Amino acid sequence: MSEVLRLAYEASLAFRQSLPERPVGARATLEELRAALDLPLEEQGVDPARVITELARDAEPGLVGEAGPRFFGFVIGGSSEAAVAADWLTSAWDQNAGLYAASPALAVVEEACARWILELLGLPRASGVGFVTGCQMANFTCLAAARGEMLRRAGWDVERDGLQGSPALRVIVGDEVHVTIPRALRFLGLGAGRMVRVPVDGQGRMRADELRKVLAAGEGPTIVCAQAGNINTGAVDPLDALADACVAHGAWLHVDGAFGLWACAAPDRRHLAVGADRADSWATDAHKWLNVPYDSGIAIVRDARAHHAAMTASASYLIQQEGAARDAVDWVPEFSRRARGFALYAQLRALGRAGLAELVSRGCAQARRAAEGMARIPGAQILNEVVLNQALARFTPPGGGDADAFTRTVVERVQADGTCWLSGSTWRGQAVLRFSISGQDTTEADIDRSVAAIERAARV
């Protein structure tokens, strides 16, 4: 075996084996990392074996144990062995995934993944599916299809004529919209500042009665962005009622479901997302709850023709296969691109339908266990209905005092302690500790050990 590849393989194994017991957060400071890594670029190249040895050594203290069992920050999940192994193959194979001709195997693997995902999530089987870098680009892709189709219905070809002089397009969102939606609207020329916000309920869900009022107050082509999985509470918008309102108004319904859409794949959580299949487009992630390594997002559009029209890059020098073969370039914003379908394929096969359902239900059960554990800590209060994989806690100092400041202190102490890693957030103007479960290696013992670390941090 090549010495350089062997060194990388051994360093990868050593890192992954250290995950269960290594401090979860990074240990090095910014200054230390700069001193170790931000070197002058040498005139003459360095021996690759030395480059890899030193990279593994010098990066390690600045790595975060996101792939380990006690990382509970940002809802960003771990990575399974099957998916990481397939990802290694992907790098070694070095396929350009843009065109069928450049990687027939990848094109067929993506077809299979697309079919499996539509089946697992219970979405219309004829939908277009694109494999993008993450939910940010999935939102962008879906909203590009929505923009094109809604303007086409209003007699305007945005792909040809752009937005200058086009009919106005209304975009309606819930007040708890994820920041990647306005960012996608900026990229699409629709303007982040033009979103119309709909009030939400106490868990952050868009209120269907309020949506109906907003829809009735305007007219013209309209896109509604709903959410499955609030990044704080985990709550899913009332999709069935939102779909009713959109149908009545002829509006496009998009669902941002980076992690929460996976509720559809678990029989005991599916009730949360009833009506999800009635939307027009869905954005989700495989690198969060599905435990595929970065980067892996999925854009799904019911009207495959609208999806294709928004993304296709037909140019004469491209070898376009007649018939059924899939050119990925037609479904995503990227041109040349990583063959990220292989890792997703490996993970879906390794899990199977039952394994995926179990992964989702187990994460939700563990969130309830974390919430129950934290609720027993003196001064702690749980702020959300723990319906999915999220638990929000707030801490009042023993003897009373500033709960915002104390909650932030608890988060800092937990991060410094290293037993687990989770982040602070703000929920309804209050500082909170957010416990998000999405790693597939997390056990009940990991939850209990982490709750014990939080309890220690909440003592004065």
Ligand X SMILES: *Cc1c(COP(=O)(O)O)cnc(C)c1O
Subset of 341-400 contacting ligand X (CB under 6 A)? none
Cβ 289 to ligand X, closest distance in Å?
A: 10
Q: Looking at beta carbons only, is 19 or 299 nearer to ligand X?
A: 299
105: left (phi over 0), alpha (psi -120 to 50) or beta: alpha
Q: Is 258 in the site for ligand X (CB under 6 A)?
A: yes
Only one of the segments 29-37, 42-50, 227-235, 358-366 lies at the binding site for ligand X (rule: CB under 6 A); that segment is 227-235
**Within 13 Å of residue 302, how many CA atoms lie on the same side as its CB?**
15
The dihedral over CA atoms of 148, 152, 154, 159, expressed in degrees to the nearest 10, equals 60
Q: Which run of H or E residues covers position 118?
A: helix 104-121
The dihedral over CA atoms of 286, 290, 295, 298, expressed in degrees to the nearest 10, equals 0
90, 136, 291, 407: which one contacts ligand X (CB under 6 A)? 136
Q: Looking at beta carbons only, is 103 or 141 nearer to ligand X?
A: 141
Q: Which run of H or E residues covers position 216?
A: helix 208-216
Q: Looking at beta carbons only, is 239 or 380 nearer to ligand X?
A: 239
Cβ 139 to ligand X, closest distance in Å?
A: 6
Please say whether the beta carbons of 428 and 199 come within 8 A: no
Q: What span, in angstroms and rounded, lies between the C-alpha atoms of 432 and 141?
A: 32
Q: What span, in angstroms and rounded, lies between the C-alpha atoms of 3 and 336?
A: 29
Neighbours of 114 (CB within 10 A): 22
Q: Looking at beta carbons only, is 230 or 450 nearer to ligand X?
A: 230
The dihedral over CA atoms of 326, 327, 330, 333, expressed in degrees to the nearest 10, equals 130
66, 110, 237, 256: which one contacts ligand X (CB under 6 A)? 256
Q: Is 8 in the site for ligand X (CB under 6 A)?
A: no
Please classify residue 164 by burial: count the beta carbons closer than 10 Å to its beta carbon, then call 0-12 exposed, 13-18 middle and 19+ buried.
exposed
Q: Is 254 in the site for ligand X (CB under 6 A)?
A: no
Only one of the segments 201-209, 223-231, 396-404, 429-437 lies at the binding site for ligand X (rule: CB under 6 A); that segment is 223-231
Q: Looking at beta carbons only, is 136 or 222 nearer to ligand X?
A: 136
Q: Is 263 in the site for ligand X (CB under 6 A)?
A: no
Q: Looking at beta carbons only, is 178 or 302 nearer to ligand X?
A: 178
Count of positions on this chain that bind ligand X (CB under 6 A): 14
Name the residue among 74, 63, 16 with its Cα closest to residue 437: 74
Q: Looking at beta carbons only, is 249 or 254 nearer to ligand X?
A: 254
Q: Is 135 in the site for ligand X (CB under 6 A)?
A: yes
Q: Is 259 in the site for ligand X (CB under 6 A)?
A: yes
Q: What span, in angstroms and rounded, lies between the C-alpha atoms of 97 and 289?
A: 24
Only one of the segments 119-127, 256-264, 315-323, 437-445 lies at the binding site for ligand X (rule: CB under 6 A); that segment is 256-264
Q: Is 221 in the site for ligand X (CB under 6 A)?
A: no
Cβ 240 to ligand X, closest distance in Å?
A: 19
7, 19, 26, 75: which one contacts ligand X (CB under 6 A)? 75
Q: Is 297 in the site for ligand X (CB under 6 A)?
A: yes
Distances (CA, A) of 234 to 345, 363, 406: 26, 12, 24
Only one of the segments 49-57, 132-140, 304-312, 404-412 lies at the binding site for ligand X (rule: CB under 6 A); that segment is 132-140
Q: Is 134 in the site for ligand X (CB under 6 A)?
A: yes
Name the residue among 299, 275, 280 with its Cα closest to residue 117: 299
Q: What span, in angstroms and rounded, lies between the C-alpha atoms of 402 and 404?
A: 6
Using Cβ positions, the residue closest to ligand X within the complex turns out to be 134
Q: Is 180 in the site for ligand X (CB under 6 A)?
A: yes
Q: List CB contacts of 63: < 8 A, sequence separation 6 or more.
A: 15, 26
Residues of the shown chain interacting with ligand X in the complex, contacts defined by CB under 6 A:
75, 134-136, 178, 180, 227, 229, 231, 256, 258-259, 285, 297
